[in-house]
Amino acid sequence: MTHADSPPRPPRKVVVVGGGAAGLMAAGIAASQGARVTVLEKTGRTGTKLGITGKGRCNLTNSAPLELFLKAYGHQRQFLRQAFMRFFSSDLVAFAESLGIPAELEPGGKYFPTGNRAPEFAEALAEWTVASGAAIDKNSAVSEIVVRDRRIAGVRVGSHKVVPADAVIIATGGLSYPETGSTGDGYSLARALGHTIVPTRPALVPLETKGDIAPRLQGLSLHDVAVRLITQDRPQAALLGDLVFTHYGLSGPVILLVSLDAVDSLSAGKKVEISFDLLPSLDERALESHLLERFSGLGTKQLQNILKELLPSSLVPVCLDLADVSGNITGSQVTTAERRRLRHLLKDFRLTVTGHQGYAEATVTAGGVDLAEVDPRTMQSRLVAGLYFAGEVLDIDGPTGGYNLQAAFSTGRLAGHSAATGGP
């Protein structure tokens, strides 16, 4: 038999562990490359977390250019470069539209499905995966990745059944929102095969604060506030954004952005505070001049009413209490010392951070499979041939604004292609 007459190679058998964003993308791409693909999802539904992400709005990606997008990942950026170069934000937006879910660009560069249809997008993604040729087995919990001679041989489901495989993609997510099925199974599977797991902790998570200030302000949202995390009396660079007071402490985009540093500092036993500059458009000198002008120009008006021109009304009595100034005095009665205390408070409103809301409220999980043990060109393990990783199970965590979903889809697509073809 000549080489030309040799029988075609059988399709590669690919098993994807996890039916979330990364897993479904990986499965659909692998199937479209001709692989025989099975998705093993331990719960009764696929895309559960995707369907609730962004409070049902599903922030797909961000319009930031590639280099700025990568910069947002800090030391993880070089690992993601290959995946993003092959499938980036414009590709994801086009892909969503091909599923019948067009995306709209909103302020801040965020892309959301038109009509904020996260559940519909999750359903459309699963339908596309099946239409591409992949099978989805639900209620199928994986207990072991079977390896022979440092090469993938199959996947054990439950206690006995082994599903043969030439390649396995672990896309089980992290630990955040455990009610969706993200309970860290992928870390255990990877660790059993010799992989290092960077310690996991909640990221993009609301923070808990000391005292009754936050409860008194519950429900109040502040916009374009300059926020600093202060650890052991050492302030970090200020970030500008929105926050909201809750019954337990603080939430909102800018709080989530500083939360991982707060979590790590608290774990190290350090003192952690959050400082707000309530009037970031005015520096100290400009604010002093403004207060002098207002207090003298409105000399007969009560101080609490003057401050309502600067601050939300619910914040005024709290600021007055913290500055130890009566709101019933008139503007002309404010002493130099009282004005100084008010000015300082408006530029440095502090709350002590005592904890966080944990994985139940964390948008993503920081930590995971060590990136040094994964080939960024293929998402294949450097330790076990035929083993691939995608999504949040990796030591990848980006900021809010669509970054984390983009990483899930990009790494999933690359892993799926590599697993199906056996190469980059």
pLDDT tens-digit profile, the chain (424 residues): 445 555 667 899 999 999 999 999 999 999 999 999 999 999 999 998 898 887 788 999 999 999 999 999 999 999 999 999 999 999 999 999 999 999 999 988 999 998 878 899 999 999 999 999 999 999 999 999 999 999 999 999 988 789 999 999 999 999 988 888 788 999 999 999 999 999 999 999 999 999 999 999 999 999 999 999 999 999 998 999 999 999 999 999 999 999 999 999 999 999 999 999 999 999 999 999 999 999 988 889 999 999 999 999 999 999 999 999 999 999 999 999 999 999 999 999 999 999 999 999 999 999 999 999 999 999 999 999 999 999 999 999 999 999 999 999 999 999 999 999 987 6
Structure tokens at 72: 């947002």
Instruction: State residue 1's pLDDT score.
Output: 47
Instruction: State residue 108's pLDDT score.
Output: 85
The answer to whether the beta carbons of residues 242 and 278 sit under 8 Å apart is no
Q: Which residues of 409-418 are buried (b: 16+ CB within 10 A; e: fewer)?
A: bbbbbbbbbb
Instruction: State residue 79's pLDDT score.
Output: 97
Instruction: State residue 122's pLDDT score.
Output: 93
Structure tokens at 382: 């450097």
Instruction: State residue 4's pLDDT score.
Output: 53
Instruction: State residue 6's pLDDT score.
Output: 57
Instruction: State residue 388's pLDDT score.
Output: 98
